[in-house]
Amino acid sequence: MKKLCIYLTLAASLISATAISQEAAATKSPYKLIVWADVGFDESSQLLQIVFPEKETLPAPFVGFLSNSITTSTLTTPENSEANKQLESGLRVTVEIDPNTSRAKILSRELMPRPLRSEQQIEPLIRVKGEWSGRIFVTCTINRNGRCSKPKIDPSANAPTEISKVLLATLGSWRFAPQKRAGIQVDGEFNTWVTIEADNSAPPKSFGKQI
């Protein structure tokens, strides 16, 4: 009888531990989601229109939440501009999603040229031959033809000079919807975080983009 009690106690402990483990596994951490919109302003720099290119892939309540957050906020004025007068631009909205509560929180809204391909509208991950890896902040001017020219790396990253060549090859191949002012295409600034993953599977002859 005593042995039976011990076995039952151990079984109860195992069940309790398993339940806790399952509960911990079911608890997920908040994650970030990037959503792009195309916006336009009138002559008084007032928001005139909002269009979500990927609207059909998003839940209608979430689209409503994004639209409301944009219309009720003060959007960042483009660099070197005094106002958003007659501006047409992409708008990158970064949202934090908590899967445990199904709540969303806007982290940032940034006016900039929008990458045309959906897979390029998130933070890029690039595998590079060599030992260096890290997460770097990159800016580049998007010209009137929708191309990135001369990506600039935040110097605090201390990245090898060869990384600039990799970024030029990567971001330089992207196509953007250039910003417009009064219907005329203008240069605009784009920025993104880029994760560099070291690929040391073979001795590197030079740095190169792997994906």
In this predicted model, what pLDDT tens digit does every residue of 54-78 receive, in sequence order?
Answer: 999 999 999 999 999 999 988 765 5
Q: What percent of the chain has pLDDT over 90?
A: 51
Per-residue pLDDT at 142 exceeds 90: yes
**pLDDT at residue 61, as a whole number:** 94
- Tell me the per-residue pLDDT of 1-33, one tens digit each, with 9 for 90 and over: 434 333 323 333 333 344 334 443 455 899 999
Q: How far is the C-alpha of 146 from the C-alpha of 197, rounded, in Å?
A: 27
Long-range contact pairs involving 59-66 (C-beta distance under 8 Å, separation at least 24)? 62/104, 65/104, 66/35, 66/37, 66/93, 66/95
- Fold type of domain 116-211: TolA/TonB C-terminal domain (3.30.2420)
CA distances from 171 to 5, 154, 164, 204 (A): 67, 16, 10, 22
Mean pLDDT of the 30-57 span: 93
What is the average pLDDT across 196-206?
Answer: 70
Domain ranges of the chain: 27-112, 116-211
Q: What is the pLDDT of residue 119?
A: 83
